Amino acid sequence: MPDSSAAMPEQVGSEPIVSFEGRVTGGISREVLTAFQGVSSGGAETGGILLGSRSGDRILVEDFEPVLCEHRFGPSYVLSDEDLLGLEESVQWFRTTHAGDLQVLGFYRSQTGPDSSVGDRDNELMRRFFPDSGSLFLLLKPVRTPAITAELFVFAESSLHAAGHPMLFPSSDTSIPARVSFAQSPNTGKDARVTPLNTGTNGRDTHPQKREPEQSEEPAGRNWTWVAALVALTLAGAVLGYRSVGPRNGGATSTAASKTAVSDAPSVPRTPASNPVSVSTPGTAAPNAAEVLPPPAVSLEMEQGVREALGNWLRALRSGDPDLVVACYASQLDRYFSQRNSSSAEVRRAAAQSVARYGKPAILRISDLTLTPLSDERAMTSFRKHWQTGGSRMFAGEVQEQLTFVKAGDAWKIASEEETKIYWTQRPR
């Protein structure tokens, strides 16, 4: 990473300096605008974790970790229980592994609805996942492509405090000077200034099929200014609850059981009316509805067999053992990612190389599972996969993946594996 000290403003007195690297402002802007442009009825919202370092009076936001929202409740960034589990795992992983010396600094999210500031959900989320005084919260509101307004908040005394009025947020990697002042709090007692740094491009890969939003260059001398004092607020007598972000089990805040927690295959109920796993018909419909053949039946044996095979595959990936991984595959594969007619030996070699390079998965989770029967002995599954490795060279991402299983004796084996959509990836820099 380039030395950013030269780009930072000269320290004044004992003021703490909070700086954003250019790849952070550029990467978050692209993420916010991509989500905003993806939904015609006002745009979807997105969010994630702010990462960086604190050294004396200097706070540097060096990276960010998007947190998946399945948007079960609409385009707003309202986290479901499954989303909250992913957030909890990510926060726990960064706090326990000290990956690349990155610390958890706070949270960011976009706001596309009529509300223009933080609410009860945001305060509860900060209390649960980012309770340290001085944690940052960045609220971004896209108003037109490619403009984004942003408002900075600081968590203190169990609630968020505005650190300035909304201002234009950089929509490219161009450095824009900024200053933020916030009043004395019990744990800081100091003012702070915030400056985005121009340190290059964002380290994440965007979806190759999505058009990058056009971005305008900002004049290098333009000031991005936030100057405000925190208003003294009395502590609330009780913590405001919200079902989507409240602690699970109706009690105190829960913690991740392990940094290597991995979800096994979701259950596949047989009743279509209450089935969260959809069953689709392969191929396209015939012009005449009367000629459409009914889909193959999903037998109980298929449901149980595929579910067990998928769970075994997830556990094998979590273990990092190439022999356990290859045992989940057929001896000959129709397709293994971009390679056709692959052998199980190639699968084993790829699994061993991945573990040697990146380490075992620290986070591995699937969601939105669908099961499509192709025949009595062949079935296709599709799901969204989120992973993050635990080695010193972290590799993370989210993709839409498709596995085809075939019946081999009494077991179901993977005969094809491919990624059909890439949401984002982050490779070691």
* pLDDT at residue 241, as a whole number: 28
E runs forming strands in 102-171: 103-110, 135-144, 147-156, 159-162, 167-168
What Cα–Cα distance (Å) separates residue 397 from each residue in 95, 123, 295, 424?
19, 27, 33, 5
The string of DSSP codes covering 383-405 is EEEEEEE-SSS--EEEEEEEEEE
* pLDDT at residue 383, as a whole number: 93
> What is the DSSP secondary structure assignment for residue 278, as one 8-state letter?
B
Q: Which residues in the chain land under pLDDT 70?
A: 1-17, 38-42, 98-100, 115-116, 144-146, 164-165, 170-295, 429
The segment(s) of the chain belonging to CATH 3.40.140.10 are 5-250
Cα–Cα distance measured from residue 301 to residue 270, given in angstroms and rounded to the nearest whole number: 11
Instruction: Give which of 59, 78, 58 is closest to 67, Cα–Cα.
Output: 78
Contact 338, 371 (CB under 8 A): no
3-state SS assignment for residue 115:
coil
* pLDDT at residue 391, as a whole number: 76
Q: Domain 5-250's class?
A: alpha beta
CA angle (349 as vertex; 344, 354 as ends), nearest 5: 125
Q: Residue 306 is inside which H or E element, if any?
A: helix 300-319
The segment(s) of the chain belonging to CATH 3.10.450.50 are 294-426
- Which class for 185: exposed (0-12), middle (13-18), buried (19 or more C-beta within 10 A)? middle
The 10s digit of each residue's pLDDT in 84-143 is 988 998 898 888 875 567 899 999 999 887 766 788 999 999 999 999 988 999 999 887
* Other C-beta atoms lying within 10 Å of the C-beta of residue 427: 13
Count of residues for the chain?
429
Cα–Cα distance measured from residue 132 to residue 200, given in angstroms and rounded to the nearest whole number: 30
* pLDDT at residue 402, as a whole number: 96
Whole-model pTM: value is: 0.47
* pLDDT at residue 114, as a whole number: 72
* pLDDT at residue 153, as a whole number: 87
> What is the DSSP secondary structure assignment for residue 313, as one 8-state letter?
H
Cα–Cα distance measured from residue 306 to residue 270, given in angstroms and rounded to the nearest whole number: 13
294-426: CATH, from 3.30.70.100, 3.30.1330.10, 3.10.450.50, 3.40.720.10: 3.10.450.50
